[in-house]
Structure 1
Amino acid sequence: MPKLTVIGYGKYTVEKGTKLVLALEDNGVDILHRCGGNARCTTCRVEIHDGDFCELSSGETEMTYEDRLRLSCQIRVEGDATVRPVLTVESTGKKPGPRPAD
């Protein structure tokens, strides 16, 4: 199973194919996801420090503007990776929104 390192939080073993936003949330990372995983709000952005992920989805292409930023609701964990959440419940004081679908 892939190892996911989340800067500032820890290292976790994640089932291959898990949506990244859910892997983060299920391991206690208070990532925002205000639109419920529909690639509309960009609050679930993560900075990719290491690891390979699928190509940008059409929703990501329209919503992200920096090379290392991805929407965690649009990618799945396929191998070992290191990421850093950009926005969290704690850092913004906002509620996370509805849980994204698997």
Structure 2
Amino acid sequence: NCRCTTCRVEFVSGEPDKMTQAEKDKLAERGLTGVRLSCQILCDHDMTVRAISRLEGSGRPDPGPRPEPEIHPQPVVWVEK
């Protein structure tokens, strides 16, 4: 849902050229560069990522629920990153 940014990842290879407008806006709002939000990525080809936000040291008691298999709400606009 692109609200919390706890699903941040760094791409090692295969980064998609497009992102949702919501992801682009949230990353800009938080001043986050060089990262993507895994909850907003459409996995339609091989890609390798490095998890940035990890449970250890986060203060969170558990990793939370498994992400939905589809992006919700459906992206209105896909934009160039």
**TM-score, normalised on structure 1?**
0.54
Structure 1 residue runs of 4+, over 3 Å off? none
1:82 maps onto 2:56 in alignment: no
Q: CA deviation at 1:43?
A: 0.5
The alignment of Structure 1 onto Structure 2 pairs a total of residues equal to 64
Higher RCO, 1 vs 2 (CA within 8 Å, ≥6 residues apart): 2
Identical pairs, percent? 44
SS at match of 1:90: coil
Query: Is contact 1:40-1:59 (8 Å) kept?
Result: no
Q: Cα RMSD (Å) of the superposition?
A: 1.7
Gaps of 5+ in 2: 70-81
The answer to whether the 8 Å contact 1:45/1:70 transfers is: yes
After superposition, where does 1:1-80 map in structure 2 within 5 Å?
38-53=1-16, 55-64=18-27, 65-66=32-33, 68-80=34-46
- C-alpha change, 1:87 and 1:62, in structure 2 (3 Å) is same
